[in-house]
A and B are shown apart, each in its own frame.
Chain A
Amino acid sequence: MEKAFTYTNVIKTFPDFKLGPLDLDLEPGTVLGFVGPNGAGKTTTIHCLVGLLRADSGEMTVFGRSNNLNKADWKLDIGYVGEIHVFYERWNGHQNLNFLSQFYPNWSPERASALAKRFNLPLDKRAKDLSTGNRVKLSLVAALAHSPRLLLLDEPTSGIDPVVREEVLDVLFEVLETGDRAIFYATHILPEISRLADELAFIDHGQVWFRTPKEDLTEKWRKIYFTLARDDVSLAAIVCHEREGDRHQVVCSDCASTLVQLKELGAGNIQENPMSIEEIAVQILKGGRYVEAD
């Protein structure tokens, strides 16, 4: 199947920051969570794909079409919600949506008003009078009204209340049900995507250095407690190791192999506890360059 998007060797340089060389792609029907600290390069990555930034070099495609900045047809497949919400400030929601609708042949005014209703968004208010949360909602309605095959979401739920956030997630799950849509979801808040995402890609300092099915993380990572009265305890695939006398606590990225090692070393009272996606992500992001054990 055609990829929802591809980045090949994409580089974008700023005086104080360099993104890439970046290689990344996304299969239709899946959700890729794009996780990294503030300033890691998440927004730059998305801006290059949607054409808000011109990459220095490299190739990008959206459903097989190159993101040629002089030709806009590939943009019809994209719904984008960024951190900045650009509207005609003196127009109300209806007028802004009407204006946008003329660029998208697939735009459905019915879908737009149904979404506005679900998000509890007043469309008769002028954009400049909308609260932060309502501006986010208007962006979401605008991004979803033409039923795009690729959704690019950059911290889309920042500033909206929990009830509406749940409604937004509900809409995203509906979008996914057909199986031909893809979502690329950048955030630094893990709980938001820990349920939605199929895969996670970790970015830091402009480099995507780790990508994995989410389930592999929860299956392989464990916190293990054990006792071992030896000074020279060295274990492979260990991310964090604390000890108090002969009691140890380790975080490991490949539980099965760690358990084998511990048995060989003669460790006692071994207890393993699963870790949440959030805990694992924090360990990965704290641990700097994490290399997967094979």
Chain B
Amino acid sequence: MLLHLTDLSAEPLQAQIIRQIRAKILAGELSAGADLPSIRRFAREHHISVITVQRAYEGLEREGLIHSRRGKGFFVSQITERTKKMMAKEKLHDSLQPGIEDALAEGLDKEEVKNVIQTLLDTVTAKK
């Protein structure tokens, strides 16, 4: 599995793994039933400790994105479109919040913030 893991980021490795695998699952790149590499193989391939991978997998399991089968390893779970949407919304919410807070603190008013978001949305969708 191709992931971009770096020591240079402030984000811990475990969080990097969770975020990137979650994104792959939400984007459908990893589909329901697909098997994930074993913890030890993952650790070896990405040169990280077993415990880091284990905790990342546990984190994804808690979110309901993957599940383990005894002796068989980890698999991507079946996720409803509704759950997927909810998670995507949550993610968007989390990434927008600090930006919006900053903008308000820096003196933009509600209407101006809305306009910026609207324009951004138009530009991005026009590109696609």
Chain A interfacial positions (CB closer than 8 Å to B): 29-31, 169-170, 173-174, 176-179, 191, 194-199, 213-215, 218-219, 273-274, 276
Contact = CB atoms under 8 A, between A and B. Distances in A.
Contact of B50 (A30, A169, A191, A194): A30
Interface residues of B, number: 17
Given A173-B47, A178-B40, A273-B10, 7 more contacts: A176-B40, A194-B7, A195-B47, A198-B50, A198-B51, A218-B14, A276-B7
A214 B49 contact: yes
Given A176-B50, A194-B7, A276-B7, A219 B44 contact: no
B43 A176 contact: yes
Interface in B30-80: 40-41, 43-44, 47-52, 55
B73 to A, nearest CB: 13
Contact of B12 (A178, A213, A218): A218
Contacts of B49: 31, 195-198, 214
A274 B51 contact: no
Contacts of A199: 51
Contacts of A170: 47
B76 to A, nearest CB: 23
Contact of A274 (B10, B47, B48, B50): B10
Contacts of A174: 44
Nearest to A196: B49
B106 interface: no
B109 to A, nearest CB: 22
A213 B51 contact: yes
Interface in B1-29: 7, 10-14
| A interface SS class | mixed
A77 to B, nearest CB: 20
Contacts of B47: 169-170, 173, 195-196
Nearest to B11: A274
Residue among A170, A213, A215, A273 with most chain B CB within 10 A: A215
Given A195-B7, A273-B10, A177 B51 contact: no
Nearest to A273: B10
A215 B11 CA distance: 12
11 contacts: A173-B44, A174-B44, A176-B43, A176-B50, A178-B40, A191-B7, A194-B7, A198-B49, A215-B55, A273-B10, A274-B10
A223 B55 CA distance: 23
Contacts of B48: 195
Contacts of A178: 40
Nearest to B41: A177
